[in-house]
Amino acid sequence: MREFDVLVIGGGLAGLVAATEAVDRGLKVALIDQEGEQNLGGQAFWSLGGLFFVDSPEQRRMRIRDSLELARQDWFGSAAFDRTEDFWPRQWAEAYLQFAAGEKRSWLKSQGVSWFPVVGWAERGGGHADGHGNSVPRFHVTWGTGPGVLAPFVRRAKGASDEGKLTFLFRHQVDRLTVTNGAVTGATGVLLAGDATPRGGSSSRNVVGDFEVKAGAVIVASGGIGGNHDLVRKSWPVERLGPPPKHMVAGVPVHVDGRMLSITQAVGGEIINGDRMWHYTEGLKNWDPIWPNHGIRILPGPSSFWCDVDGNRFPAPAMPGFDTLGTLKAIRARGHEYSWFILTKAIIKKEFALSGSEQNPDLTDKNLPLLLKRLGKNPPGPVQAFMDKGEDFVVRDNLEDLVAGMNELSGEYRLGVHHLRAQIEARDREMENSFSKDAQVTAIRGARNYLGDKLMRTAKPHRLLDPAAGPLIGVRLHILTRKTLGGLHTDLEGRVLNRENKPVPGLYAAGEVSGFGGGGMHGYNALEGTFLGGCLFSGRVAGRSVGR
Ligand SMILES: Cc1cc2nc3c(=O)[nH]c(=O)nc-3n(C[C@H](O)[C@H](O)[C@H](O)COP(=O)(O)OP(=O)(O)OC[C@H]3O[C@@H](n4cnc5c(N)ncnc54)[C@H](O)[C@@H]3O)c2cc1C
């Protein structure tokens, strides 16, 4: 049996931050993961590296006026905390906002992290100043995307390992936390066979032995539940979002299995807000999958025409890039499993970004010439590849052919060309003036008042049926599982609480497994870029607390 001061379970971003912060406090740390070394970094490696900052130099350069007060209004308007168990999530939300408006950027910058200068405007919300959504752009894409966010922590962890201060234990799957005299004192589990499956792939669960590790404190940083669709369906908030979908694409690798939640519960850790989750409605089936049922999320600009499986346009605020769960609710309220975008080449070229480090080689590889091509006449390479090879795309020169192609793709033949033409022509008529009663057209024009959107993310307003903007494109959009907003209940020191709201001695949690802090610092809705940030913050808190 091996003994350490601290055992961190999970080598994702939260675990890496917690482990390195604990090492810096002179503690002897073990970092355990069920996957192999090639998977170090977990989900964050695949992420776009979008980070939520408040009143950053990048925002100011883009003439965005942001403030802690405005961010607080947006956060609490989105979170809509309404439960007694939201006491700690509220505290975490406030602490995280202060971090995002304060030390977060300088702490990362001092470790060599930098950001793309054009700030993105994600999740614009439901239409009310004090309701859900970002009043201003706050999504700062890291130069180097997810791997760029991970780099300093991987570097620090590997350095600590070389110095004998940190021990990596890969292919160690934790099955149980051990308790001695009421305190959590380590973990037991099985050793999994070595597996050369590339990063993100589904590795084997062949057992070759077992293990026990003893530690003065245990930090659970095992991620969410998005890779376990049965668990997602079981936790699904039917009263808020309608019945769970039968089919979803997976926005996360298989290792995001949620097993550690019940393992931690078994030693007294409480789970709160398990019904709060963040799944996207703009999922594509990846033509070149890394993990099983791999889905890629489109980060859409505001211009695509969005309709249900029968061709009925969604009402505002169910518009591209506005209200993730509002749109999910609109889809599921009708019992549908998917929806459609109809757009033009002019829109796809400027407005489709694909989430994922591998879908953005220019930003991930810090390749300026490739990045500049985004300003050119054609869609970025990865988007073009989906148009050419993705099974969810139909590209045609006129609406009749497009609708025929979309019907053929779904095999359901529910779309009628007359019904769609009437709605699209009505929308197109609203393009004649620089003002409009159509909420989406108004939103498009509003977006272009922001320099960043005008430059990179919002196509010049045009008629969808204008042949000059063509060809027309239909995109089938699947529901894509991603983030877990609830989780292990923690106080502001990252200590896991029991049912009586008392810390379970020796037990800490960080990252997605703890609802990014507190058991759900986002409440019901997220502002985006807040997940990696939540892992950074809660990992830092837990890693600094264990030494006290
Ligand atoms: C494609 C993609 C794009 C994203 N883009 C963004 C973005 O732009 N901005 C943003 O803020 N967020 C983004 N996210 C979300 C963000 O990346 C994740 O929420 C975050 O990385 C989760 O980190 P974590 O450390 O909590 O968990 P994980 O990264 O899931 O790591 C947990 C680790 O624990 C291990 N583990 C689990 N159970 C056990 C066990 N029983 N025994 C041993 N090991 C175990 C797992 O193998 C895994 O390595 C994105 C996610 C994806 C997938």
Question: For 429-453, what is each residue's pLDDT tens digit?
Answer: 999 999 999 999 999 999 999 999 9
> What band does 304 get if pLDDT is binned at 50, 70 and 90?
very high
What separation in Å is there between the alpha carbon of 314 and the centre of ligand 1? 32
pLDDT value at position 542? 98
Confidence of residue 548 (pLDDT cuts 50, 70, 90): confident
CA distance 52 to 70: 13
Q: Which residues pair with 480 in a beta bridge?
A: 249, 280
Average of per-residue pLDDT across 184-205: 97
230: Cβ contacts below 8 Å, ≥ 6 apart: none
Q: Return the C-alpha torsion angle 85, 91, 93, 98, nearest 10.
A: 180
Q: Distance between CA 400 and CA 421 in Å, rounded?
A: 9
DSSP 370: H
d(C-alpha 195, C-alpha 206), whole Å: 9
Model confidence at 547: pLDDT above 90: no
State whether the Cα torsion 180-184-187-188 is positive or negative. positive
Q: Who has greater pLDDT, 548 or 118?
A: 118
Mean pLDDT of 317-332: 96
The gap between the terminal CA atoms of the chain, to the nearest Å, is 25
Distance between Cα 22 and ligand 1 center (Å): 20
Confidence of residue 89 (pLDDT cuts 50, 70, 90): very high
What is the pTM for the complete model shown?
A: 0.97
Question: Which ligand 1 atom sits closest to the C-alpha of 145?
Answer: 8
C-alpha 485/C-alpha 325 separation (Å) is 12
Nearest Cα residue to atom 49 of ligand 1: 42
> In the predicted model, is pLDDT for residue 160 greater than 80?
yes
> In terms of C-beta density within 10 A (0-12 exposed, 13-18 middle, 19 or more buried), how is residue 46 classed?
buried
Mutate which of 47, 218, 290, 530 for ligand 1 pocket (most atoms within 8 A of beta carbon): 47
Which tokens go with 467?
């042949």
Q: Which of 107, 108, 109, 132 is nearest to 122 (CA)?
A: 132
Average pLDDT over residues 124-147: 97
What is the residue-averaged pLDDT of the chain? 97
Q: Is the pLDDT of residue 36 over 90?
A: yes
50 CA: nearest ligand 1 atom = 8
Are 489 and 496 in contact by the 8 Å Cβ rule? The answer is yes
Tell me phi and psi for residue 327, to 5 degrees: -75, -40
Q: Which residues pair with 141 in a beta bridge?
A: 50
Which protein residues are within 6 Å of ligand 1, measured from CB? 9-15, 32-35, 39, 42-44, 46-50, 173-174, 221-223, 251-252, 255-256, 259-260, 355-356, 483, 511-512, 529-533, 535
Does residue 166 contact residue 4 with C-beta atoms inside 8 Å? no
Residue count of the chain, please give it: 548
Does pLDDT of 54 surpass 90?
yes
Rounded-to-integer distance, Cα 524 and Cα 76, Å: 10
pLDDT at 110 over 80: yes
The Å distance, Cα 276 to ligand 1 centre, comes to: 17
pLDDT-derived band at 82 (thresholds 50, 70, 90) equals: very high
Measure the CA–CA gap between 105 and 53, rounded to whole angstroms: 7
What is the C-alpha separation between 510 and 22, in angstroms, rounded? 13
Ligand 1 centre from 150 Cα, in Å?
Answer: 11
**Which residue is associated with the tokens 């089919």?**
247
* pLDDT for 419 beyond 80: yes
Res 1 pLDDT > 80: no
Helix, strand, coil % in the chain, rounded to nearest 5:
35, 25, 40
**CB contact at 8 A, 340 and 309:** yes
Q: What is the pLDDT of residue 375?
A: 84
Residues 6+ apart with CB under 8 A from 354: 284, 296, 297, 298, 299, 360, 382, 383, 386
For the CA of 10, the closest atom of ligand 1 is: 34
Say what angle helices 68-79 and 87-101 make with each other, to 10 degrees: 150
